[in-house]
Amino acid sequence: MPTQIKFNDVTKKYGDTTVIDQLSLHIEEGELFTLLGPSGCGKTTLLRMIAGFHSVDGGTISFNEQVINDIPVNKRDIGMVFQSYAIFPHMTVKDNVKYGLNARKLPKEEKERRLEEILETVQISQYRDRLPARLSGGQQQRVALARAIVIHPKVLLMDEPLSNLDAKLRVDMRRAINEIQKEIGITTVYVTHDQEEALAISDRIAVMNKGEIQQVGSPTDIYLRPANQFVATFIGHSNLFSGKVSQKDGKNLITLSDGYRFEISTLQRDIVDGMDVTVAVRPEEFIISETDKGIEGVVLLRNFLGKYIHYEVQLPNGSKVELSQDTNTSKHFFEVNQSIKLDVMVDKINVFTSDGEQSLIEGVKRYE
Protein backbone atom coordinates (compact mmCIF):
# COMPACT_ATOMS: atom_id res chain seq x y z
CA MET A 1 0.00 0.00 0.00
CA PRO A 2 1.35 3.47 -0.85
CA THR A 3 2.56 5.30 2.23
CA GLN A 4 1.92 8.84 3.44
CA ILE A 5 4.28 10.24 6.07
CA LYS A 6 2.90 12.68 8.59
CA PHE A 7 4.81 14.74 11.14
CA ASN A 8 2.54 16.17 13.81
CA ASP A 9 4.12 18.74 16.17
CA VAL A 10 7.37 16.81 16.14
CA THR A 11 10.09 17.96 18.55
CA LYS A 12 13.71 16.78 18.74
CA LYS A 13 16.22 17.61 21.42
CA TYR A 14 19.92 16.83 21.67
CA GLY A 15 20.54 17.13 25.41
CA ASP A 16 19.12 20.51 26.40
CA THR A 17 19.16 21.90 22.86
CA THR A 18 15.91 21.79 20.90
CA VAL A 19 16.81 21.46 17.21
CA ILE A 20 13.29 20.76 15.91
CA ASP A 21 10.38 22.47 17.65
CA GLN A 22 6.81 21.27 16.95
CA LEU A 23 7.26 20.68 13.25
CA SER A 24 4.30 19.48 11.18
CA LEU A 25 4.57 18.18 7.63
CA HIS A 26 2.66 15.87 5.29
CA ILE A 27 4.50 13.90 2.64
CA GLU A 28 2.14 12.41 0.07
CA GLU A 29 2.16 8.83 -1.12
CA GLY A 30 4.47 8.10 -4.02
CA GLU A 31 6.07 11.52 -4.19
CA LEU A 32 9.74 12.41 -4.29
CA PHE A 33 9.88 14.91 -1.46
CA THR A 34 13.04 16.87 -0.73
CA LEU A 35 14.23 18.45 2.49
CA LEU A 36 16.42 21.34 1.37
CA GLY A 37 18.35 23.77 3.54
CA PRO A 38 21.81 24.89 4.67
CA SER A 39 24.10 22.58 6.61
CA GLY A 40 22.97 22.15 10.22
CA CYS A 41 19.30 23.09 9.62
CA GLY A 42 18.01 19.68 10.76
CA LYS A 43 17.49 17.66 7.55
CA THR A 44 19.39 14.56 8.65
CA THR A 45 17.73 14.75 12.06
CA LEU A 46 14.26 14.53 10.44
CA LEU A 47 15.35 11.69 8.17
CA ARG A 48 16.83 9.69 11.03
CA MET A 49 13.63 10.14 13.02
CA ILE A 50 11.66 8.64 10.12
CA ALA A 51 14.13 5.75 10.02
CA GLY A 52 13.99 5.24 13.79
CA PHE A 53 17.67 5.96 14.51
CA HIS A 54 16.62 9.00 16.58
CA SER A 55 13.89 9.13 19.21
CA VAL A 56 10.95 11.48 18.74
CA ASP A 57 10.87 13.78 21.80
CA GLY A 58 7.42 15.27 21.23
CA GLY A 59 4.53 14.84 18.79
CA THR A 60 4.11 11.93 16.40
CA ILE A 61 5.37 10.57 13.11
CA SER A 62 2.90 8.34 11.25
CA PHE A 63 2.93 6.12 8.18
CA ASN A 64 -0.65 6.47 6.92
CA GLU A 65 -2.67 6.24 10.13
CA GLN A 66 -0.12 4.27 12.12
CA VAL A 67 2.02 6.15 14.65
CA ILE A 68 5.59 4.81 14.31
CA ASN A 69 7.30 6.64 17.21
CA ASP A 70 7.94 3.42 19.14
CA ILE A 71 8.34 0.97 16.28
CA PRO A 72 11.95 -0.33 16.16
CA VAL A 73 14.16 0.43 13.14
CA ASN A 74 14.01 -3.06 11.66
CA LYS A 75 10.20 -3.16 11.76
CA ARG A 76 9.65 0.12 9.91
CA ASP A 77 10.17 -1.30 6.43
CA ILE A 78 12.50 1.40 5.16
CA GLY A 79 15.19 1.54 2.47
CA MET A 80 18.08 3.94 3.00
CA VAL A 81 20.83 5.38 0.82
CA PHE A 82 23.55 7.57 2.29
CA GLN A 83 26.33 9.80 1.05
CA SER A 84 28.90 7.05 1.59
CA TYR A 85 27.91 4.04 -0.47
CA ALA A 86 27.98 1.57 2.44
CA ILE A 87 28.22 -1.48 0.23
CA PHE A 88 30.29 -4.52 1.20
CA PRO A 89 33.69 -4.45 -0.55
CA HIS A 90 34.17 -8.23 -0.42
CA MET A 91 30.83 -9.06 -2.07
CA THR A 92 29.96 -8.91 -5.75
CA VAL A 93 27.31 -6.49 -7.02
CA LYS A 94 24.76 -9.29 -7.10
CA ASP A 95 25.51 -10.46 -3.57
CA ASN A 96 25.41 -6.90 -2.25
CA VAL A 97 21.95 -6.38 -3.67
CA LYS A 98 20.78 -9.83 -2.57
CA TYR A 99 21.94 -9.12 0.97
CA GLY A 100 18.85 -7.05 1.70
CA LEU A 101 16.61 -9.85 0.44
CA ASN A 102 18.17 -12.56 2.57
CA ALA A 103 16.51 -11.26 5.69
CA ARG A 104 13.09 -11.62 4.01
CA LYS A 105 11.10 -14.81 4.00
CA LEU A 106 10.51 -15.13 0.27
CA PRO A 107 10.57 -18.13 -2.08
CA LYS A 108 13.91 -18.54 -3.84
CA GLU A 109 12.39 -17.86 -7.30
CA GLU A 110 10.82 -14.62 -6.08
CA LYS A 111 14.16 -13.46 -4.70
CA GLU A 112 15.86 -14.24 -8.03
CA ARG A 113 13.11 -12.45 -9.97
CA ARG A 114 13.34 -9.30 -7.85
CA LEU A 115 17.10 -9.33 -8.05
CA GLU A 116 17.06 -9.47 -11.87
CA GLU A 117 14.38 -6.81 -12.04
CA ILE A 118 16.22 -4.33 -9.83
CA LEU A 119 19.61 -4.87 -11.52
CA GLU A 120 17.85 -4.01 -14.79
CA THR A 121 16.07 -0.98 -13.32
CA VAL A 122 19.22 0.65 -12.00
CA GLN A 123 21.21 -0.50 -15.06
CA ILE A 124 23.94 -2.50 -13.39
CA SER A 125 23.08 -5.98 -14.75
CA GLN A 126 26.29 -6.21 -16.74
CA TYR A 127 28.39 -5.64 -13.59
CA ARG A 128 26.62 -8.28 -11.52
CA ASP A 129 29.75 -10.36 -10.86
CA ARG A 130 32.13 -7.50 -10.21
CA LEU A 131 33.49 -6.42 -6.86
CA PRO A 132 32.71 -2.79 -5.85
CA ALA A 133 36.38 -1.74 -6.16
CA ARG A 134 36.05 -2.21 -9.92
CA LEU A 135 33.02 0.10 -10.22
CA SER A 136 32.85 3.89 -10.61
CA GLY A 137 31.31 6.02 -7.85
CA GLY A 138 28.07 6.33 -9.79
CA GLN A 139 27.85 2.58 -10.30
CA GLN A 140 28.53 1.95 -6.62
CA GLN A 141 25.74 4.35 -5.73
CA ARG A 142 23.42 2.46 -8.09
CA VAL A 143 24.27 -0.74 -6.20
CA ALA A 144 23.40 0.98 -2.91
CA LEU A 145 20.13 2.20 -4.44
CA ALA A 146 19.28 -1.27 -5.77
CA ARG A 147 19.97 -2.81 -2.37
CA ALA A 148 17.71 -0.27 -0.68
CA ILE A 149 14.74 -0.81 -2.99
CA VAL A 150 14.96 -4.53 -3.76
CA ILE A 151 13.12 -5.25 -0.50
CA HIS A 152 10.17 -3.14 -1.73
CA PRO A 153 10.16 -0.95 1.38
CA LYS A 154 7.27 1.35 2.29
CA VAL A 155 9.52 4.38 2.26
CA LEU A 156 12.87 5.23 0.68
CA LEU A 157 15.17 7.68 2.49
CA MET A 158 18.17 9.27 0.79
CA ASP A 159 20.63 11.52 2.61
CA GLU A 160 22.84 13.57 0.24
CA PRO A 161 23.35 10.46 -1.92
CA LEU A 162 25.17 12.30 -4.69
CA SER A 163 27.56 14.54 -2.77
CA ASN A 164 30.56 12.22 -3.23
CA LEU A 165 30.19 12.12 -7.01
CA ASP A 166 31.75 14.51 -9.51
CA ALA A 167 29.60 17.22 -11.13
CA LYS A 168 28.82 15.48 -14.42
CA LEU A 169 27.91 12.19 -12.73
CA ARG A 170 25.71 14.00 -10.23
CA VAL A 171 23.60 15.34 -13.07
CA ASP A 172 23.30 11.88 -14.69
CA MET A 173 22.40 10.27 -11.36
CA ARG A 174 19.69 12.89 -10.68
CA ARG A 175 17.89 11.72 -13.77
CA ALA A 176 18.44 8.04 -12.91
CA ILE A 177 17.06 8.49 -9.39
CA ASN A 178 14.09 10.43 -10.69
CA GLU A 179 13.26 7.78 -13.30
CA ILE A 180 13.71 4.86 -10.93
CA GLN A 181 11.61 6.54 -8.25
CA LYS A 182 8.78 7.19 -10.73
CA GLU A 183 8.99 3.65 -12.05
CA ILE A 184 8.63 1.99 -8.65
CA GLY A 185 6.40 4.74 -7.21
CA ILE A 186 7.76 4.53 -3.68
CA THR A 187 7.34 7.47 -1.28
CA THR A 188 10.83 8.98 -1.12
CA VAL A 189 12.32 11.55 1.21
CA TYR A 190 15.47 13.05 -0.27
CA VAL A 191 17.87 15.28 1.65
CA THR A 192 20.20 17.78 0.01
CA HIS A 193 21.75 21.21 0.62
CA ASP A 194 22.13 21.68 -3.16
CA GLN A 195 19.30 23.87 -4.44
CA GLU A 196 19.88 23.02 -8.08
CA GLU A 197 19.69 19.31 -7.33
CA ALA A 198 16.48 19.82 -5.36
CA LEU A 199 14.84 21.82 -8.17
CA ALA A 200 15.82 19.19 -10.74
CA ILE A 201 14.74 16.07 -8.88
CA SER A 202 11.74 16.84 -6.66
CA ASP A 203 7.96 16.67 -6.91
CA ARG A 204 7.83 18.95 -3.88
CA ILE A 205 10.42 20.64 -1.69
CA ALA A 206 10.40 21.72 1.95
CA VAL A 207 12.88 24.57 2.40
CA MET A 208 14.26 24.53 5.95
CA ASN A 209 16.26 26.98 8.02
CA LYS A 210 17.31 26.55 11.66
CA GLY A 211 15.00 23.59 12.27
CA GLU A 212 11.96 25.34 10.81
CA ILE A 213 10.15 24.78 7.56
CA GLN A 214 10.05 28.00 5.56
CA GLN A 215 7.99 26.86 2.60
CA VAL A 216 6.62 23.70 1.00
CA GLY A 217 5.88 23.64 -2.71
CA SER A 218 6.75 22.47 -6.20
CA PRO A 219 10.13 23.57 -7.59
CA THR A 220 8.41 26.21 -9.75
CA ASP A 221 6.35 27.60 -6.84
CA ILE A 222 9.40 27.91 -4.68
CA TYR A 223 11.55 29.54 -7.34
CA LEU A 224 8.92 31.91 -8.74
CA ARG A 225 7.00 32.75 -5.57
CA PRO A 226 9.30 32.35 -2.55
CA ALA A 227 7.46 32.74 0.76
CA ASN A 228 10.15 34.91 2.37
CA GLN A 229 13.52 36.50 1.79
CA PHE A 230 15.40 33.43 3.05
CA VAL A 231 13.84 31.24 0.35
CA ALA A 232 14.30 33.94 -2.32
CA THR A 233 18.03 34.16 -1.65
CA PHE A 234 18.74 30.50 -0.80
CA ILE A 235 17.15 29.23 -4.03
CA GLY A 236 18.74 30.98 -7.00
CA HIS A 237 19.91 34.59 -6.79
CA SER A 238 17.68 37.54 -5.84
CA ASN A 239 18.75 41.21 -5.90
CA LEU A 240 17.22 43.02 -2.93
CA PHE A 241 16.02 46.64 -2.87
CA SER A 242 14.28 48.57 -0.13
CA GLY A 243 11.10 50.35 -1.11
CA LYS A 244 7.89 51.92 0.11
CA VAL A 245 4.30 51.22 -0.90
CA SER A 246 2.00 54.09 -1.83
CA GLN A 247 -1.58 53.99 -3.03
CA LYS A 248 -3.28 56.06 -5.68
CA ASP A 249 -6.74 55.63 -7.23
CA GLY A 250 -7.02 52.14 -5.72
CA LYS A 251 -3.69 51.06 -7.20
CA ASN A 252 -0.48 50.03 -5.44
CA LEU A 253 2.80 51.68 -6.34
CA ILE A 254 6.26 50.90 -5.04
CA THR A 255 8.97 53.54 -4.85
CA LEU A 256 12.51 52.20 -4.54
CA SER A 257 15.05 54.07 -2.43
CA ASP A 258 16.66 55.69 -5.50
CA GLY A 259 13.29 57.20 -6.43
CA TYR A 260 12.28 54.81 -9.22
CA ARG A 261 8.53 54.12 -8.98
CA PHE A 262 6.32 51.48 -10.62
CA GLU A 263 2.76 50.23 -10.37
CA ILE A 264 2.24 46.69 -9.13
CA SER A 265 -0.95 44.60 -9.19
CA THR A 266 0.21 41.37 -7.53
CA LEU A 267 0.24 42.57 -3.90
CA GLN A 268 -2.17 41.27 -1.23
CA ARG A 269 -5.40 43.19 -0.91
CA ASP A 270 -4.84 44.33 2.68
CA ILE A 271 -1.56 46.09 1.97
CA VAL A 272 -1.26 49.51 3.66
CA ASP A 273 -0.20 52.89 2.32
CA GLY A 274 3.30 53.87 3.42
CA MET A 275 4.43 50.33 4.23
CA ASP A 276 8.17 49.66 4.02
CA VAL A 277 9.00 46.65 1.87
CA THR A 278 11.90 44.61 0.49
CA VAL A 279 11.73 44.03 -3.26
CA ALA A 280 13.44 40.91 -4.67
CA VAL A 281 14.34 40.86 -8.36
CA ARG A 282 15.96 37.85 -10.01
CA PRO A 283 18.73 38.46 -12.61
CA GLU A 284 16.35 37.50 -15.44
CA GLU A 285 13.56 39.81 -14.23
CA PHE A 286 15.10 43.08 -15.43
CA ILE A 287 14.45 44.93 -18.66
CA ILE A 288 17.63 46.78 -19.62
CA SER A 289 17.74 49.88 -21.78
CA GLU A 290 19.91 52.94 -22.36
CA THR A 291 17.25 55.59 -22.15
CA ASP A 292 13.94 54.34 -20.74
CA LYS A 293 12.70 54.60 -17.20
CA GLY A 294 14.24 52.52 -14.47
CA ILE A 295 16.94 52.23 -11.85
CA GLU A 296 20.15 53.92 -12.98
CA GLY A 297 23.35 51.92 -13.07
CA VAL A 298 26.72 51.43 -14.72
CA VAL A 299 27.92 48.12 -16.20
CA LEU A 300 30.89 46.80 -14.20
CA LEU A 301 31.30 43.36 -15.73
CA ARG A 302 29.99 41.54 -18.74
CA ASN A 303 30.16 37.80 -19.06
CA PHE A 304 29.03 36.07 -22.25
CA LEU A 305 27.59 32.63 -21.44
CA GLY A 306 26.09 31.66 -24.78
CA LYS A 307 22.38 31.56 -24.11
CA TYR A 308 22.69 34.41 -21.60
CA ILE A 309 24.84 37.42 -21.03
CA HIS A 310 25.51 38.03 -17.39
CA TYR A 311 26.12 41.60 -16.18
CA GLU A 312 27.21 43.04 -12.87
CA VAL A 313 25.89 46.57 -12.54
CA GLN A 314 26.79 49.21 -9.96
CA LEU A 315 24.09 51.52 -8.61
CA PRO A 316 24.72 55.13 -7.51
CA ASN A 317 24.54 54.10 -3.83
CA GLY A 318 27.45 51.71 -4.41
CA SER A 319 25.49 48.45 -4.25
CA LYS A 320 25.82 45.86 -7.01
CA VAL A 321 23.11 44.12 -8.98
CA GLU A 322 23.37 40.91 -10.99
CA LEU A 323 21.34 40.56 -14.11
CA SER A 324 21.12 38.31 -17.10
CA GLN A 325 19.99 39.08 -20.61
CA ASP A 326 18.65 36.45 -22.99
CA THR A 327 21.00 36.48 -25.98
CA ASN A 328 18.28 35.34 -28.34
CA THR A 329 15.63 37.95 -27.64
CA SER A 330 17.84 41.00 -26.94
CA LYS A 331 18.20 43.72 -29.54
CA HIS A 332 21.63 44.78 -28.43
CA PHE A 333 24.19 44.15 -25.74
CA PHE A 334 25.75 46.59 -23.31
CA GLU A 335 29.40 47.51 -22.75
CA VAL A 336 31.46 47.77 -19.60
CA ASN A 337 31.26 51.36 -18.20
CA GLN A 338 28.05 52.06 -20.12
CA SER A 339 25.25 53.82 -18.21
CA ILE A 340 21.98 51.90 -18.36
CA LYS A 341 18.47 51.90 -16.90
CA LEU A 342 16.95 48.85 -15.28
CA ASP A 343 13.21 48.40 -15.40
CA VAL A 344 11.69 45.41 -13.60
CA MET A 345 9.19 42.81 -14.83
CA VAL A 346 6.54 43.87 -12.36
CA ASP A 347 4.38 40.73 -12.57
CA LYS A 348 7.34 38.48 -11.79
CA ILE A 349 9.22 40.23 -9.00
CA ASN A 350 8.61 39.37 -5.34
CA VAL A 351 7.88 41.73 -2.47
CA PHE A 352 8.43 41.00 1.22
CA THR A 353 7.86 42.81 4.50
CA SER A 354 10.89 44.99 5.26
CA ASP A 355 12.21 42.36 7.71
CA GLY A 356 12.05 39.76 4.92
CA GLU A 357 9.86 37.42 6.96
CA GLN A 358 6.68 37.33 4.83
CA SER A 359 5.84 37.58 1.16
CA LEU A 360 3.31 40.33 0.36
CA ILE A 361 2.29 38.76 -2.96
CA GLU A 362 -1.38 37.69 -3.01
CA GLY A 363 -1.76 33.98 -2.25
CA VAL A 364 1.86 33.30 -1.18
CA LYS A 365 2.11 31.95 2.34
CA ARG A 366 4.75 30.66 4.68
CA TYR A 367 4.28 27.06 5.69
CA GLU A 368 2.06 26.73 8.75
Q: Tell me which of ligand ADP, Mg ion, none is bound by residue 224, counting a contact when its beta carbon lies within the kind-specific cut-off of 5 to 8 angstroms.
A: none
**Residue 325 binds: one of Mg ion, ligand ADP, none (C-beta under 5 to 8 A by kind):** none
Which one, of 348, 344, 304, 346, lies nearest residue 326 by Cα? 304
Q: Does 44 bind ligand ADP (CB under 6 A)?
A: yes
CB of 364 to ligand ADP, least distance (A): 25
Q: Taking the complex as a whole, how short is the minimal distance between the CB of residue 165 and Mg ion, in angstroms?
A: 17
Among the listed ranges 24-32, 40-48, 250-258, 324-332, the one in contact with ligand ADP (CB under 6 A) is 40-48
- Report CA torsion sign: 260, 296, 307, 233: negative
Contact (Cβ atoms closer than 8 angstroms) between residue 256 and residue 279:
yes
Inter-residue contact 287 to 300 (CB < 8 Å) = no
User: Whole-number minimum distance, CB 193 to Mg ion, in Å?
Assistant: 8
Considering the complex, state which of residue 41 and residue 199 has its C-beta at the smaller distance from ligand ADP.
41
Residues of span 3-62 touching Mg ion by CB under 5 A: 44
CB-based contact 49:73 (threshold 8 Å): no
- Least distance in angstroms from the C-beta of 226 to ligand ADP: 19
Q: Least distance to Mg ion from the beta carbon of 60, Å? A: 23
Residue of the chain from 11, 18, 19, 77 that contacts ligand ADP (CB under 6 A): 19
Output 82 or 127, the one with its CB closest to Mg ion.
Answer: 82
CA-nearest of 39, 13, 42, 40 to 25 is: 42
Residues 119-148 that bind Mg ion (CB under 5 A): none
The binder of 45, among Mg ion, ligand ADP, none, by C-beta within 5 to 8 A per type, is ligand ADP
Nearer to ligand ADP, 42 or 294 (CB): 42
CB 194 → Mg ion: shortest distance, Å? 12
Integer Cα distance of 13 and 110 in angstroms: 43
Q: Which of 90, 88, 150, 157 is nearest to 119 (CA)?
A: 150
181: left (phi over 0), alpha (psi -120 to 50) or beta: alpha
Question: How do strand 251-256 and strand 286-289 relate by DSSP bridges?
Answer: unpaired
How far is 196 from 235, CA to CA, in rounded Å? 8
Q: Which amino acid is at 118?
A: I
In the bound state with ligand ADP, the residue whose beta carbon lies nearer, of 157 and 313, is: 157
Query: Which residue of 31, 32, 33, 42 would you call a contact of ligand ADP, by CB under 6 A?
Result: 42
Is residue 45 at the binding interface for ligand ADP, with CB under 6 A as the rule?
Answer: yes
Q: What is the DSSP string of 324-361?
A: EEETTT-S----TT-EEEEEE-TTT-EEEETTSSSB-B
Q: Does 41 interact with ligand ADP (rule: CB under 6 A)? A: yes
Question: C-alpha 138: how far from its chain's center?
Answer: 21
Binding flag, residue 40, ligand ADP (CB under 6 A) = yes
Residues forming contacts to ligand ADP in the complex (CB under 6 A) are: 14, 19, 37, 39-45
Residues forming contacts to Mg ion in the complex (CB under 5 A) are: 44
